[in-house]
């Protein structure tokens, strides 16, 4: 991250508005821990902030991560995701994935039935009743509606960052010197800003409408997946 951006985020982290958002998130997490919880960790910027906040109050909490496979998440990114979690202090990390990724299946088509129908019941059987999820209303109208209606997917969900802006997220990362994916710096360099940088499964047809920069940033991985979303065996 260039110095001017780092200085901007550092300055923002000292504003009363940001301090209030952090304090609210801390209070929300504290209240939610009355049930047995786990943290949903994608490795993206939002879940990175969420994981750090939760670990401050529950150092041994279960951290659950879904690996989308080499066709949609190059191994260097996946390895970085895991390393960042460990660097922040996650000692109870469980990683799940699907054999279907070897066939190049689009991520949500696999994630929904495999995680929700296979993994979540096992977590519930072990006594887990609530999931911390890094959902933010600012990200999309769909997520804003989800938060307003409290529409959960896996089980009872807690969204401590629901009202945070992208500036709050980056301010917290910089102020607390958190490890984050180098992916964001690469994309921000091309876009000229950290405002809209996000982590998605690479070369995934369902995210084409977001104007993906995958072909520019990850050109060396382009042949791993064909236009249909299937792994190229050539």
The better pLDDT of the pair 201, 152 is held by 152
Position 99 scores a pLDDT of 85
Position 117 scores a pLDDT of 87
3-class DSSP state of 168: helix
Position 208 scores a pLDDT of 53
DSSP result, the chain = --HHHHHHHHHHHTSHHHHHHHHHHHHHHHHHTTS-EEEE--SSHHHHHHHHHHHHH-TT-EEEEE---TTTS-HHHHHHHHHHHHHTT--SEEEE--GGGGGT--HHHHHIIIIIIIIHHHHHHTT--EEE----GGG-HHHHHHHHHT--SSSEEE-TTTT--HHHHHHHHHHTT----HHHHHHHHHHT-STT-----TT-GGGGGG---HHHHSGGGGGGB-TTSPBP--
Dihedrals φ, ψ of 220, to 5°? -70, -15
pLDDT tens sequence across 76-96 = 899 999 999 999 999 999 999
Token representation of residue 190:
């091309």
What residue spans define the domains of the chain?
Answer: 3-180
Is residue 199 within 8 A of residue 43, CB to CB? The reply is yes
Token representation of residue 211:
């104007």
Position 203 scores a pLDDT of 53
Residue 145: pLDDT band (50, 70, 90) is confident
Percent of the chain with pLDDT over 70: 80
Report whether pLDDT(126) > 80: yes
Distance CA(7)–CA(171), nearest Å, equals 10
Report whether pLDDT(140) > 80: no
Residue 139: which residues within 8 A CB-CB, separation 6 or more?
Answer: 198
Position 198 scores a pLDDT of 78
Residue 13: pLDDT band (50, 70, 90) is very high
Is residue 84 within 8 A of residue 179, CB to CB? The reply is yes
Position 222 scores a pLDDT of 56
Percent of the chain with pLDDT over 90: 56
Is residue 147 within 8 A of residue 162, CB to CB? The reply is yes
Beta strands in the chain (DSSP E): 37-40, 62-66, 93-96, 130-132, 156-158
pLDDT tens sequence across 93-109 = 999 998 888 776 666 67
Mean pLDDT for the chain? 85
| CATH label, 3-180, candidates 3.30.70.370, 3.40.50.300, 3.40.50.620, 3.40.50.10260 | 3.40.50.620
Report whether pLDDT(191) > 90: no
Position 48 scores a pLDDT of 98
Report whether pLDDT(228) > 50: no
User: In the β-sheet with 93-96, what is the strand arrangement from edge to edge?
Assistant: 93-96, 62-66, 37-40, 130-132, 156-158
Give the pTM. 0.84
């Amino acid at each position: 991250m260039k110095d001017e951006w780092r200085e901007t985020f550092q300055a923002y982290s000292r504003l009363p508005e940001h301090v209030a958002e952090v304090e609210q998130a801390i209070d929300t997490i504290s209240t939610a821990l009355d049930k047995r919880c786990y943290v949903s960790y994608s490795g993206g910027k939002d879940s990175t902030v969420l994981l750090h906040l939760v670990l401050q109050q529950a150092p041994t909490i279960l951290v659950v991560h879904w690996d989308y496979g080499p066709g949609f998440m190059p191994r260097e990114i996946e390895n970085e995701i895991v390393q960042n979690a460990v660097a922040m202090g996650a000692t109870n990390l469980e990683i799940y994935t699907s054999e279907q990724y070897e066939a190049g299946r689009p991520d949500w088509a696999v994630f929904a039935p495999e995680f929700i129908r296979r993994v979540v019941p096992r977590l519930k059987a072990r006594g887990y009743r609530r999931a911390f999820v890094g959902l933010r209303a600012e990200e999309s109208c769909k997520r804003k509606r989800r938060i307003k209606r409290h529409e959960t997917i896996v089980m009872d969900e807690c969204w401590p960052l629901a009202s945070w802006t992208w500036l709050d997220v980056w301010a917290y990362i910089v102020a607390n010197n958190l490890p984050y994916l180098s992916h964001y710096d690469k994309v921000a360099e091309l876009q000229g800003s950290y405002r809209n940088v996000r982590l998605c499964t690479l070369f995934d047809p369902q995210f084409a409408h977001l104007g993906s920069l995958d072909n520019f940033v990850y050109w060396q991985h382009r042949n791993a997946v064909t236009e249909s979303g299937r792994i190229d065996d050539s």
